[in-house]
Structures are given as C-alpha cells and as structure tokens.
C-alpha cells in the first residue's frame, strides 16, 4: 500500500509536526489538493484551515493540535462530513500536575507566604481527607484523580454523562453542579468550553461554594464569569482562585485580578510548547499509523458536541 499523502500546515507551521508524520511512514506534501489527510498546526487559524479544506477535497481526516477546539466548533467547521481528531487527552498529565500545584499552593496560603517580608500568621488547610469537586470527565480529570488518590480525598466528578470513573467517589450529571459545589474544599475546572458550559462558574455558583474553598481553572477562561469571581475574591466569599486561564486572555495589565491577594495566575502554562512537542508528536505519529492501517483514530471530535 502506498504511503498516505499528508498536508501539514498553517500560517505557523511547526517543522517537527512534519517529522512526526514522516516517522509514521507517510509523505508530507505541499499541495492540499493531493492530500488524503491534513495535520494542522495553528489552533486559532480558522480561516486558513477553511481555505485548505476547500482545496483538499480528497482529505477525509484532519488532525488538530490542541485539545480545545471551541474556535472551530463556533465557526461550524466540523460540519463537513470529515473525520476530525484533536489533542484530546494528550496533555492530561502535565495539566493535571499544574492543577494540583495550584490547589496545594492555594490551600497552603502560598500567595501570602511568597509576598511576605516578615514572619506570618498560622494558617492553611491540608488536602488530606478533603473534598474535591471536578467539573469535567475527560483525560485531565482521569489524570488528576490518580494524583489525588494518595491524599485520601472524597472526589465528586460532574460530567455530561454521569458514568462511573476510576478514582472518583461519585459521579453526577451537570444538573447537579450546584449541589456538588456546596461542600467542596476545592473545585477544579477541567471541562470543554461549549455554549452549555460557558459561564458555569457565575455568582450563583460562587455563592454555593464554602468560604474556604479554592477554585482552580485549567480548562478555559470562559467557564468563569470574571467580574463575579473578582467580587467573590474581594468579599471573601471563597478562599481563593488558581487560574491558568482567564477571560480575557491574556489578562491585561491593570486588571483587578492581578491585585487580589488570594488569587494565583499562571499565563496558560499548564502545558507549554516544550512539554507539548514530544507528546503531540507521538499522538500525530500514532494517528498517522492508524490512518494508514485503517484502525480507529485517537482523540475523535464529536461535531454535535463541539469537542
């Protein structure tokens, strides 16, 4: 069987993506009109991909680089009958690691300790035997549940389909979100951004959380109503927030979140390019191999759900 012809590109072509395609024995080509598959390197260049798709009429499969594909879903680009895959699950372990770091730093009052110039007060909470609620039931949550296991926490996972998950104490549907927030020491956001999940953490949700609870967001900034969060942090309605993503993003200088002492902000670094390169390369190579041999692909996007 002849090696498949794969078009790799966007306005920001990553050369190592072509190497990942070649590692599976496929041919990297420059003309999308001849392509059987597309590996796209820019998670935001919707118009560029749309132009390539118009030329690549024989390409039945498209691999996107990151797990978040909301920009493409909003543009209706998945509704073309092709098979779509993304980086779903690829970055689960480093992102879960970052979520745990933010959570522990928050519960242990590290923002106060880092800024201190004199001996401080006795404060902080232990994660052991605590209660953690995670919104989302994908790969990040799976990895996080493994990391949380040694802490003997009680974990509640909120997901679209409340099927059991290994390591979760209980799994509930999205209709039980507010109840799941009520007794948590920490709430972690690890879900896809869709119209149904945008603004899921608003004033009502924050009011249901306990005064000591920490909110950790490693998903998308749009899950949180930022103005409501700023108010909750300033009023002491919750213990604090650890944010790797924000709305807006990048968070501009002078934004009120920068001045809230019980808020940790990292600049979307739960998964950096250096972390992503080897694991995304492996995913591309494996999916090209599977495409060549007719095996099921990994990280399929559901066009109806938008992720």
Contact 230, 221 (CB under 8 A): no
Question: Which candidate in 82, 160, 170, 268 is catalytic?
Answer: 268
Backbone angles phi, psi at 63, to 5 degrees: -105, 120
Q: Confirm whether 255 is a catalytic residue.
A: no
Backbone angles phi, psi at 231, to 5 degrees: -60, -45
Q: Confirm whether 249 is a catalytic residue.
A: yes
For 86, residues 6+ apart whose C-beta sits below 8 A from its C-beta are 63, 64, 65, 66, 67, 68, 69, 299, 301, 307
Residue 7 falls in which region: left (phi positive, over 0), alpha (psi -120 to 50) or beta: beta
Q: Confirm whether 220 is a catalytic residue.
A: yes
Contact 264, 243 (CB under 8 A): yes
Other beta carbons within 10 angstroms of residue 117's beta carbon come to: 5
Residue indicated by tokens 């559901």:
302
Please name the residue ranges forming H helices in 8-124: 15-23, 46-55, 70-74, 92-107, 110-115
The residue count for the chain? 307
Contact 156, 184 (CB under 8 A): yes
Contact 200, 176 (CB under 8 A): no
Question: Which candidate in 98, 159, 208, 220 is catalytic?
Answer: 220
Question: Which candidate in 82, 249, 277, 286 is catalytic?
Answer: 249
Tokens of 243: 């944010």
- Catalogue the active-site residues: 220, 249, 268
């Amino acid at each position: 069987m002849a090696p498949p012809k794969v078009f790799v590109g966007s306005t920001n072509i990553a050369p190592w993506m072509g190497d990942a395609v070649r590692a599976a024995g496929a041919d990297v080509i420059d003309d999308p009109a001849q392509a059987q598959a597309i590996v796209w390197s820019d998670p935001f260049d919707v118009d560029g991909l749309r132009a390539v798709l118009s030329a690549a009429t024989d390409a039945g499969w498209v691999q996107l680089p990151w797990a978040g594909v909301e920009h493409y879903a909003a543009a209706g680009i998945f509704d073309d009958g092709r098979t779509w895959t993304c980086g779903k699950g690829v970055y689960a372990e480093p992102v879960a690691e970052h979520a745990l770091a933010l959570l522990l730093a928050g519960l242990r009052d590290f923002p106060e300790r880092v800024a201190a110039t004199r001996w401080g007060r006795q404060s902080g909470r232990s994660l052991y035997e605590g209660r953690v609620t995670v919104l989302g039931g994908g790969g990040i949550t799976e990895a996080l549940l493994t990391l949380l296991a040694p802490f003997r926490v009680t974990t509640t996972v909120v997901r679209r389909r409340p099927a059991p998950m290994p390591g979760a104490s209980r799994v509930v549907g999205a209709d039980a979100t507010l109840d799941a927030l009520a007794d948590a020491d920490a709430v972690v956001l690890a879900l896809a951004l869709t119209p149904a999940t945008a603004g899921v953490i608003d004033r009502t949700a924050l009011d249901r959380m306990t005064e000591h609870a920490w909110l950790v967001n490693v998903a998308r900034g749009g899950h949180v109503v930022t103005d409501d969060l700023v108010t909750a942090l300033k009023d002491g309605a919750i213990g604090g927030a650890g944010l790797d993503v924000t709305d807006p993003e990048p968070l501009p200088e002078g934004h009120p979140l920068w001045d809230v002492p019980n808020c940790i902000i990292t600049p979307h670094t739960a998964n950096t390019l250096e972390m992503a390169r080897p694991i995304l390369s492996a995913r591309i190579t494996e999916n090209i191999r599977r495409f060549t041999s007719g095996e099921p692909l990994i990280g399929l996007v559901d066009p109806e759900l938008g992720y």
